[in-house]
Amino acid sequence: MDFTFTDDELAFREAISRFLMTEAAPEALREIWETDSGRSPDLRNKMAEQGLTALSIPESAGGLEMGDVVWSLMTQELGYYGIPDSLSDTAYVAAGLISNLPDTVAEKATWLEQICDGSLRVAVGHPVNPLVADAHMADLILLANGDEVHAVPRAKIEVEHNPSIDSSRRLMRVMWETDSSTLVAAGDEGRKLWQQTLDRGALSAAGQLLGLAQRMLDLSVDYAAQRKQFGKPIGSFQAVKHHLADVAGKIEFAKPVLYRAAYSLQQGDSDASMHVSQARLACGEAALLAGRHGIQVHGAMGYTWEVDLQMFMKRSWALESSWGDRIFHKSRVSDFVLAEGAALGPGQTFGRS
C-alpha cells in the first residue's frame, strides 16, 4: 500500500507555504494583532483567492472537495506561520458540519457557496470549548443546545471578550436564546454531527500544533547558529544539540500519527476518534517540548515581544486546551486501549490483518 502524498497535494502545500511566507511575516502579524478586531480582511481575502476556503467544499458548490488528509498538511502551514485567523474553523470544521446537514436545510447550498468564495465567516461553538473563537466577526455561528445544532446569525447573539495569553486569539463568551428558527439538526443526527465536528476540530488543532513545533525548532536552530558564547556559536555545544535533536525526534514521530488520524477520519473509520486523540496528544507533546527547549536555547529574551519565538510558543500554549485538553484525549485513548477485545498491535494498522 502507498501512503505517500500525491504530487498535487505536495505542490499545493508548497504554493500555500510560499504565499504565507510573503503575506504573513512576523512583523505583519504583530500589526494585525494590535488592531481592534485582531484580524485582517485583506489577508483573509487573499487566502480565499488561493483556494484555502474552497478546500472542503463539494464541487457542486464550486469547491475543490478535498478531504481531511489535505487539511492535515494545510493546518501545519497555518500553524507554522502563526496565521491570526480561525480560517480552519470556517473552511474545514464548519464546512464539514454544514456539508453533512440534511438537504432539507434550505440555506445549506448558499452557506457552502459563500464559504467557498470567502464571503461567509463561520464560528463554531462546540460544547467542549467554553469560549468561541472569532465569534465577534462571524456572520454565522454554529452552536449546540444538547444534541441540537443551531445555525445562529450574528445579530441574534451577544459576545463578551475573554483575554488570552496568545495575542492572536480572539475568544468570546457567547450569549444567545434558543430559537426553533435556527435549528438545523437534532437527536441522533445532531449528536453524530457534533462528534464529527469535535474530531475535525481536534485534528485541526493537532496539525497547527505540529506546524508551530516545527517553526519553534527552526527559530531555535537559527538562533543557536548566530548566538555566540566563549567565541563559538551555542549550536556547537553538545547540550544544545541534544535539546534540538529531542524536538526534531518528537516532530518526526508525531507526523505519521497525524496522517493516520486524517486518513482514518476521511475513510469514516469506526476508531477515528481514538486516532484523532492520539494525534492531538502526539502533536501537543511536540509543541510543548519545542517551546520549552526553545526558551532554554534563547534564554529569558525568548519571552520578550521583540523575539519571534514568543509568538508561536504562546499560540501553542493556548491551543493546548482547544478542542479538548490532554485529560480529555488521554481518556478517549485509554477507553479504547483498555476495552475488551481492543484491536491493538501492528497487524491492525490501516485495517490489515
pLDDT tops 60 at residue 56 = yes
At residue 196, the pLDDT reads 97
Give the chain's domain count.
Answer: 1
Report the candidate in 91, 84, 151 with the shortest Cα–Cα distance to residue 116: 91
Nearest alpha carbon to residue 203 among 56, 341, 3, 65: 56
Which one is predicted more confidently, 300 or 26?
A: 26
CATH code for the domain of 256: 1.20.140.10
Q: Does residue 266 form part of some domain?
A: yes
Highest mean pLDDT of the ranges 43-52, 249-258, 296-305:
249-258
Report pLDDT digits (tens) over 204-220.
999 999 999 999 999 99
Q: Has residue 128 been placed in a domain?
A: no
pLDDT at 119: 95
Is 151 inside any structural domain? no
Distance CA 142, CA 94 (A): 8
Average pLDDT estimate for 100-127: 95
- Is the model's pLDDT at 352 over the cut of 50? no
Residue 221 lies in a domain: yes
* Cα gap 81→211, rounded to integer Å: 8
Q: Which domain holds residue 291?
A: 189-337
Asked if residue 115 is part of any domain, the answer here is no
Over 50: is that where the pLDDT of 264 sits?
A: yes
The whole-chain average pLDDT of the chain stands at 92
CA distances from 227 to 32, 298, 322 (A): 29, 9, 35
Q: Is the pLDDT of residue 115 over 60?
A: yes
273-319 per-position pLDDT tens digit: 999 999 999 999 999 999 999 999 988 888 888 899 999 999 999 99
- CA pair distance 94, 92, nearest whole angstrom: 6
- Asked whether residue 14 is assigned to any structural domain, the reply reads no
Whether 199 is in a domain gets the answer yes
Mean pLDDT, residues 237-259: 93
Report the DSSP beta bridge partners of residue 150: 143, 183
pLDDT of residue 302: 83
Q: Is residue 268 part of a domain?
A: yes
Predicted pLDDT of residue 353: 35
Phi, psi of 105 (to 5 degrees): -75, 110
**Cell numbers linked to 246:** 529531542
Q: What is the pLDDT of residue 2?
A: 61
What pLDDT does 187 receive? 96
> Quick check: 349 pLDDT over 80?
no
Instruction: Read off the pLDDT of residues 154-191 as tens digits, 9 standing for 90 and up.
Output: 999 999 999 888 888 899 999 999 989 999 999 999 99
Q: Quote the percentage of the chain above a pLDDT of 90.
A: 75
